[in-house]
Amino acid sequence: METYKHKKATKAEIDDALNELCIMNWDTEFRVVFQSDDMGEHVVVAFEGEVPEDSKDKIRTPYLGWRVIRMVVPVGYLAAFYPLVEKQ
């Protein structure tokens, strides 16, 4: 059973928080993606080309109660596999 010092944020809350953090700090293509593995559900922040140097200091895990993985993907990967979609 998992225990947290604080209540775990909802998916919408962690998504909003990480998107705002990335937009305010780095001028690079990124996506916030939810995935799961043997340890359960987690959040992936995928950056194209390289992970920003200071991202390890700014995106610490756990973040709002979520396990966060920073990942680097090739340029063009995010547009191909995670295209931006306008919210209606």
Alpha-carbon distance 29 to 47, whole Å? 6
Structure tokens at 39: 């340890």
Q: What is the DSSP letter of 10?
A: P
What is the pTM for the complete model shown? Answer: 0.86
User: How sure is the predictor about 86, in pLDDT bands with cuts at 50, 70 and 90?
Assistant: confident
Nearest to 19 by CA among 8, 34, 39: 34
Q: What is the pLDDT of residues 36-85, one digit of tens each?
A: 999 999 999 999 999 999 999 999 999 999 999 999 999 999 999 999 88
Alpha-carbon distance 70 to 50, whole Å? 10
